[in-house]
């Protein structure tokens, strides 16, 4: 898929993301709550710090972090996503000194200076859905200050291979196992899938110390099947899955089962 088609794909979905329907999903809430314990310990002091939300969509974490006094930069490939993000920021009563928004490809953020962010968030799959995951990882690390942190998630290729077998669709199984590339039959989007050790090595290659590697949606494929999401409507089931995410996410066996992986890395000084 060309860059123009990728932009149009996400532009066409911007209104849905801006509607807030996605955020109402219990699966979305499970991922957010799974990430939170890894985010809070690496947040810098608000005074004088700067956070990048790369591949932000319409802006997810800005809603929580900007009201706490953090200055933020939001970037996304889709101009329509960024338009909605700007509207959200305006509704929050924030000016460009607090939050600025840019339509940028995560693989090429050259307008952002080297070593300019205390924390970089790349959550929601931009590393998986970009054109070149190695370039994207390089860019995420390049703009991070020495001693700063990157939180990035990615889809798990071994879980994707497992799901292919269980769906009895082996058409892409060899490619998933060979190089982690999967093309969605529905959207045509290429997915860069990573195993846990591959994701870790991707950041280590960019002078990052990997502090945590976790599974943020244990036992679920990604994107999840509707019948599995329905399980989470039961509060007891939701709490059980959240307990696994909070207390067992870094267990190697859980990592292998998780549809989505999370890496927390610190840039070496």
CATH of the domain spanning 3-259, picked from 1.10.3210.10, 3.30.565.10, 3.40.50.150, 2.40.33.20: 3.40.50.150
269 DSSP 8-state letter: -
pLDDT attached to residue 10:
93
3-state secondary structure 86-103: HHHHHHCCCCCCCEEEEE
pLDDT attached to residue 229:
86
pLDDT digits (tens, 9 = 90+) for 79-108: 999 999 999 999 999 887 788 999 999 999
The residues, any chain, with a CB within 8 Å of residue 157's CB and separated by 6 or more, are 176, 177, 180, 182, 193, 194, 195, 198
Cβ–Cβ contacts within 10 Å for residue 168, how many?
Answer: 6
- For residue 186, what pLDDT band results from cuts at 50, 70 and 90? confident
Going from N- to C-terminal start, the domains of the chain cover 3-259
How far apart, in whole angstroms, are the C-alpha atoms of residue 195 and residue 24? 29
The residues, any chain, with a CB within 8 Å of residue 215's CB and separated by 6 or more, are 156, 245, 249, 250, 254, 255, 257, 258, 260, 261, 262
pLDDT attached to residue 55:
96
Q: Average pLDDT, stretch 42-58?
A: 95
pLDDT attached to residue 247:
93
What share of the chain has pLDDT > 90, as a percent? Answer: 80
pLDDT digits (tens, 9 = 90+) for 238-265: 999 999 989 999 999 999 889 999 999 9
Token pair, residue 208, equals: 């990052």
pLDDT attached to residue 21:
82
197 φ/ψ angles, rounded to the nearest 5 degrees: -70, -30
């Amino acid at each position: 898929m060309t860059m123009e088609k990728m932009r149009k794909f996400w532009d066409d979905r911007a209104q849905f993301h801006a509607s807030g329907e996605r955020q109402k999903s219990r699966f979305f809430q499970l991922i957010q709550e799974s990430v939170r314990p890894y985010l809070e310990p690496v947040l810098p002091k608000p005074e004088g710090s700067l956070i990048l939300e790369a591949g932000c969509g319409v802006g997810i974490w800005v809603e929580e972090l900007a009201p706490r006094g953090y200055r933020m930069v939001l970037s996304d490939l889709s101009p329509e996503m960024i338009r909605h993000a700007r509207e959200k920021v305006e509704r929050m009563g924030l000016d460009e000194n607090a939050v600025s928004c840019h339509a940028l490809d995560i693989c090429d953020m050259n307008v952002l200076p080297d070593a300019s962010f205390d924390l970089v968030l790349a959550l929601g799959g931009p590393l998986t859905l970009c054109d070149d995951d190695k370039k994207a990882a390089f860019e995420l690390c390049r703009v991070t200050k020495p001693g700063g942190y990157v939180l990035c998630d990615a889809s798990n290729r071994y879980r994707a291979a497992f799901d292919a077998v269980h769906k009895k669709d082996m058409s892409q199984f060899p490619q998933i196992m060979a190089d982690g590339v999967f093309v969605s039959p529905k959207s045509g989007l290429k997915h860069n899938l990573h195993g846990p050790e591959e994701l870790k090595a991707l950041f280590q290659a960019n002078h990052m110390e990997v502090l945590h590697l976790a599974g943020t949606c244990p036992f679920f494929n990604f994107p999840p099947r509707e019948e599995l999401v329905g399980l989470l409507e039961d509060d007891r089931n939701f709490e059980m899955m959240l307990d696994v995410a909070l207390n067992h996410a870094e267990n190697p066996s859980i990592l292998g089962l998780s549809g989505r992986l999370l890496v927390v890395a610190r840039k070496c000084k």
